[in-house]
Amino acid sequence: MIKTIVFDIGNVVWAYEPLQKKLLTSWAKLLNTDYHTFYQQYLQIYKHLETNDLTLTDYFLSQKLDPKPFLDILNSTYSLNNFKKYILKDTLSLISDLKKRGYQIGYLSNAENYHYPLIHQRLDHYFDFGITSWQAKIRKPDPQIFAEIFKHTSVLPSEVLFIDDIEENITSAKNYGLHAIHFQNPQKLLSDLSLFPNFFHDRIDQ
């Protein structure tokens, strides 16, 4: 029986890509380069930011750049008003419904360390617990990150359902012994939950 449901954040609860592209484009302009060029550079460092091996300030200082203009753009791009535009409201509505029905709800998200106050902290009140890769110092799809869930709950792996938009992470979760659903959109998720096992269908629709 499922007792705990754990959501990924990016593209499941919050659509991260539009603001990320806007941010990297603005940073590229500061460097007098284009988005594609800077994006390729960013691909070399983002995993280090996601495991807290590197901070954004240290990165820009290592490039002999004043971090303040970059941080100012970051805070402007991820303003509260901009943040709210990209919440997937149907997912949050489902999360609220599941909590009312007695499920423990958490999130497990690969995330650069500088994102926490701008994204995850703003979502924390919707969840019973939250885990980010930079806090755990390990990132999906490494199956060991799923051990972090059991610091917040006493249930068995077979009583946990994990929801993510990336197939590789779904496979890893299943290999760890969790149930898992590949997220495509909120409507499909609701359909998948309703079909999961019979008791789950009854619990959602009662």
User: What DSSP string runs through 55-118?
Assistant: -HHHHHHHTT--HHHHHHHHHHHT-HHHHHHTB-HHHHHHHHHHHHTT-EEEEEE---GGGTTT
Burial of 78 (0-12, 13-18, 19+ CB in 10 A): buried
Pair (11, 21) in one structural domain: no
Residue 70 pairs in a beta bridge with none
> Which tokens go with 163?
């929801």
Pair (134, 190) in one structural domain: yes
Pair (27, 122) in one structural domain: no
* Containing structural domain, residue 21: 17-82
Predicted pLDDT of residue 201: 55
The model's pLDDT over 97-121, given as tens digits with 9 standing for 90+, comes to 999 989 999 999 999 999 999 999 9
Which of 82, 110, 135 is the last residue before a domain boundary? 82
Residues 28 and 35 sit within 8 Å (Cβ to Cβ): yes
Pair (48, 37) in one structural domain: yes
CATH of residue 176's domain is 3.40.50.1000
The model's pLDDT over 163-204, given as tens digits with 9 standing for 90+, comes to 999 999 999 999 999 999 999 998 899 888 887 765 565 555
Residue 107 pairs in a beta bridge with 7, 130
Burial of 32 (0-12, 13-18, 19+ CB in 10 A): exposed
The half-sphere exposure of 15 on its side-chain side, counting CA atoms within 13 A, is 14
Q: What is the pTM of this model?
A: 0.94
Q: Can you tell me the distance from the alpha carbon of 55 to that of 49, in angstroms, rounded to the nearest whole number?
A: 6
Pair (49, 121) in one structural domain: no
The model's pLDDT over 125-166, given as tens digits with 9 standing for 90+, comes to 999 999 999 999 999 999 999 999 999 999 999 999 999 999
Which of 166, 185, 37 lies closest to 109, judged by CA?
166
CA distances for 57 relative to 71, 114, 122, 181, 191, angstroms: 8, 9, 22, 36, 43
Q: Can you tell me the distance from the alpha carbon of 177 to that of 162, in angstroms, rounded to the nearest whole number?
A: 10
Q: Can you tell me the distance from the alpha carbon of 30 to that of 73, in angstroms, rounded to the nearest whole number?
A: 10
How many domains does the chain fold into? 2
